[in-house]
């Protein structure tokens, strides 16, 4: 019998995609979605903050208490903590993202090893299925050429480089033929796609929208400056999800400078106003408690933040990331204050989201993803959750919902 491999994925959608590449490349082993029956555990790690490293270490410690499985580490953490975890015998082997297509070879090694691979690699594999997923993740680029003060990612993923367009189209074509209708374009810095190949994200999306089976295209996080005039031309296309996640990181001009960000507050505000007028739900990334965030700067940022029509947010308190410029900046902000500020903006967005759903006039186009506790769960075109009561099996189906009840946590509907 083949040994069973369990994949534990931390972090972003790019890691979700990379885990799927490894699963697709696995030939000499069987995949299990049950950690308890695994002979081997592959940890696809995140290292965006010191806290992310801590989560990975904690998982390894808990795993070793209850399992004899052989543990391998890959992902971004392989480059920052891989050697130390190997030396401490916490893992048997460490390999970089560029080695994921050679996973059989990695798992067959008989001696402990550290193989960080190549930070300039570009994936050449084609994924035609996603284990346990209703939506397909399509990686269109790798790496980031920005150098934000707080971020380690360019140093563990390399500079921005685009995937081969022909391979992206081939992959979406196969997945469309296999029943997938929603595609999430992902990468380290998605909006930089095409900068090195005389193309663009908008051009790629137009081509993908013409592939049979494609019903909805959604983007991972993009930068405000990447929503350019060419991108604005596709905003009214029916296949573009009416939700965009645009990374602001902050709303104080002074903090944006300290963070070495490329976006500008006034331009950001104008862009979000335009998108809101077109009916988009809008999400963002935001950091509270970054060094230099004085009470005065925070108060200005908070007032500015209220002007943004945000309906979704991925906010987090600043966490030191060894090796970044932000660790040298002063004054530092206490964790308690950073959390208080975090909760302030989360409450604002929570209320915005509720109001957005209350005021929406129209039908919800929903991809049903899962069944839990007698109810079906899915996401609509605005990336809002909906819970559905139905006697039919709806998992994997697209449905249009006219009547629904808006509650604080989600929308609710009954399908007869």
Residues 314/282, Cβ–Cβ less than 8 Å: no
pLDDT at position 42: 97
Percentage of the chain exceeding pLDDT 90: 81
Distance CA 79, CA 81 (A): 6
- Identify the domain boundary among 321, 341, 359: 359
Q: In CATH, what number is assigned to the domain containing residue 38?
A: 3.40.50.12160
122: in domain: no
Pick the range with the lowest mean pLDDT from 77-86, 266-275, 354-363: 77-86
Question: Is 313 within a domain?
Answer: yes
pLDDT at 131 over 80: no
pLDDT value for 335: 94
- Write out the residue range of the structural domain in which residue 96 sits: 4-115
Residue 320 pLDDT grade (very low, low, confident, very high; cuts 50, 70, 90): confident
Please indicate, yes or no, whether residues 400 and 278 belong to a single structural domain of this protein: no
- pLDDT tens digits along 186-229: 998 999 999 999 999 999 999 999 999 999 999 989 999 999 99
Mean pLDDT for 227-243 is: 97
349 in the same domain as 236: yes
* 148 φψ region: left (φ > 0), alpha (ψ -120 to 50), beta (else): beta
Query: pLDDT per residue over 364-384, tens digit each?
Result: 999 999 999 999 999 999 999
User: What residues does 54 pair with on adjacent strands?
Assistant: none
Highest mean pLDDT among 15-24, 77-86, 335-344: 335-344
What are the start-end ranges of the E strands in 220-343?
Answer: 243-245, 281-288, 312-317
Q: What is the DSSP string of 357-369?
A: HHH--S-EEEEEE
Q: Within a 10 A sphere around the Cβ of 155, how many other Cβ atoms?
A: 17
Whether 36 is covered by a domain: the verdict is yes
Same-domain check for residues 155 and 106: no
Q: Are 136 and 179 in contact (CB under 8 A)?
A: no
Whether the pLDDT of residue 363 is over 90: the answer is yes
Taking only the tens place, the pLDDT of each residue in 23-55 is 989 999 999 999 999 999 999 998 877 777 889
Check whether residue 181 and residue 275 sit in a common domain: yes
Choosing from 115, 144, 168, the residue where a domain stops is 115
What value does the mean pLDDT of the chain take? 93
214 shares its domain with 355: yes
> Which residue is it, tokens 């186009």?
365
Is there a single domain that holds both residue 353 and residue 392?
Answer: no
Any domain includes 247: yes
> Would you state the pLDDT for residue 13?
78
Percent of the residues in the chain that have a pLDDT greater than 70, as a whole number = 99
296 domain-assigned:
yes
Same domain, yes or no: 244 and 346: yes
The residue-averaged pLDDT of 131-136 equals 74
> Which of 144-158, 241-255, 289-303, 329-343 is least confident?
144-158
Asked if the structure places residue 202 within a domain, the reply is yes
pLDDT of residue 49: 72
- pLDDT value, residue 129: 67
pLDDT at res. 132: 63
pTM reported for the whole predicted model? 0.84
Is residue 111 located within the same domain as residue 142?
Answer: no
Domain assignment present for 130: no
Instruction: Tell me, yes or no, whether 245 and 187 share the same domain.
Output: yes
Q: Is the pLDDT of residue 128 over 80?
A: no
* Same domain flag for 88 and 168: no
Q: Minimal CA–CA distance to 208: which of 166, 149, 157, 155?
A: 166
Residue where a domain stops, chosen among 115, 144, 176:
115
**Count of residues in the chain:** 416
351 pLDDT band, cuts 50/70/90, is very high
pLDDT given for residue 121 in this prediction: 83
Q: Are 277 and 175 in a shared domain?
A: yes
One domain, residues 402 and 258:
no
Give a yes or no: residue 120 inside a domain.
no
Q: Above 70 in pLDDT, residue 122?
A: yes
Q: Count the domains in the chain.
A: 3
SS3 91: coil
Long-range contacts from 111-119, C-beta under 8 angstroms, 24+ separation? 112/86, 113/86, 114/82, 114/83, 114/86, 116/78, 116/79, 116/82, 119/143, 119/156, 119/157, 119/158
Alpha-carbon gap, residue 250 to 98, rounded angstroms: 33
Residue-wise pLDDT tens digits, 143-174: 999 999 999 888 888 899 999 999 999 999 99
User: Is the pLDDT assigned to residue 68 strictly greater than 80?
Assistant: yes
């Amino acid at each position: 019998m083949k040994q069973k491999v369990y994949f534990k994925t931390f972090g972003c959608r790019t890691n979700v995609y990379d885990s799927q590449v490894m699963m697709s490349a696995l030939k000499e082993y069987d995949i299990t979605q049950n950690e308890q029956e695994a002979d081997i555990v592959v940890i696809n790690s995140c290292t965006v903050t010191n806290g992310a490293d801590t989560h990975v270490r904690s998982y390894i410690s808990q795993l070793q208490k209850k399992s004899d499985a052989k543990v391998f580490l890959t992902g971004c953490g392989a480059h920052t903590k891989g050697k130390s975890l190997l030396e401490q015998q916490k893992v048997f082997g460490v390999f970089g993202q560029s080695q994921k297509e050679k996973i059989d070879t990695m798992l067959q090694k008989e001696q402990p090893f550290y193989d960080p691979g190549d930070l300039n690699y570009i994936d050449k594999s084609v994924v035609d299925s996603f284990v346990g997923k209703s939506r397909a993740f399509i990686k269109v680029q790798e790496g980031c050429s920005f150098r934000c003060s707080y971020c380690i990612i360019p140093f563990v993923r390399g500079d921005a480089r685009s995937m081969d367009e022909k391979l992206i189209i081939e992959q979406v074509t196969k997945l469309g033929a296999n029943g997938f209708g929603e595609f999430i374009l992902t990468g380290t810095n998605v909006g930089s796609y095409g900068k090195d190949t005389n193309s663009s994200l908008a051009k790629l999306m137009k081509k993908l929208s013409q592939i049979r089976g494609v019903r909805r295209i959604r983007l991972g996080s993009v930068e405000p400056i990447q929503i350019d005039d060419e991108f604005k031309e596709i905003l009214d296309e029916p296949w573009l999800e009416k939700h965009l996640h645009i990374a602001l990181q902050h709303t104080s001009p002074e903090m944006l400078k300290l963070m070495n960000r490329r976006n500008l507050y006034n331009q950001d505000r104008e862009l979000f106003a335009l998108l809101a007028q077109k009916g988009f739900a809008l999400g963002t990334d935001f950091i509270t408690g970054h060094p230099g965030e004085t009470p005065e700067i925070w108060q200005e940022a908070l007032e500015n933040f209220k002007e943004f029509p945000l309906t979704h947010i991925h906010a987090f308190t600043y966490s030191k990331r060894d090796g970044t410029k932000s660790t040298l900046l002063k004054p530092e902000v206490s964790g308690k204050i950073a959390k208080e500020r975090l909760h302030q903006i989360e409450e604002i967005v929570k209320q915005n989201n509720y109001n957005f759903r209350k005021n929406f006039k129209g039908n919800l186009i929903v991809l049903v993803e899962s069944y839990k506790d007698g109810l079906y769960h899915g996401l609509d075109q605005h990336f809002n959750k909906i819970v559905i009561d139905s006697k039919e099996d709806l998992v994997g189906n697209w449905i249009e919902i006219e009547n629904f009840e808006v509650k604080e946590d989600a929308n609710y509907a009954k399908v007869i």
